[in-house]
Amino acid sequence: MDREQLCMLKELMALEFTVLEFHLYLDTHPTDQRALMEYNSFVQQLAVLKRQYQDRYGPLTWQEPSAYPWQWIDQPWPWEICYE
């Protein structure tokens, strides 16, 4: 995986983690309107970044379109990536 892709992947991981943190918080604070607004804004940013990443590097999850040949099995898998 080249530097550029790894950089974008890490950015995506960080943003998705932010969304998860808000998600867990909202489970036990469902009426915190400010947190909910922030959550919705991060979700939107994540959707944009994920679209960009997948258009460039292929599907991250199922129900995504694929170029030929079937891209889902493209290497590297997450445990094979050198993140250092």
Partner 1 sequence: MWIYEKKLQYPAKVGRANVQMAKYLITQYGGPDGELAASMRYLTQRYHMPTPQAKGILTDIGTEELAHLEIIATLVYKLMDRASLEEIKAAGLGAYYADHDRALYFVNGEGVPWTAAYIQSKGDPVADLHEDMAAEEKARATYEWLIDLSDDPDLNDTLKFLREREIVHFQRFGEALQIVQEYLDTKKYF
Residue 20 touches partner 1, criterion: CB under 8 A: yes
The strand ranges marked E within 1-84 are none
Place of tokens 């960080």: 14
Residue 56 touches partner 1, criterion: CB under 8 A: no
Among 2, 33, 34, 61, binds partner 1 (CB under 8 A): 61
Residue 19 touches partner 1, criterion: CB under 8 A: no
Residue 13 touches partner 1, criterion: CB under 8 A: yes
Going by the DSSP 8-state scheme, the letter that residue 62 receives in this structure is S
CA distances from 16 to 5, 23, 67 (A): 16, 10, 25
CA angle 63, 5, 66 (to 5 degrees): 25
Contact residues for partner 1, defined by CB under 8 A: 9-10, 12-13, 16-17, 20-21, 23-25, 27-30, 59-62, 72, 77-79, 81, 83-84
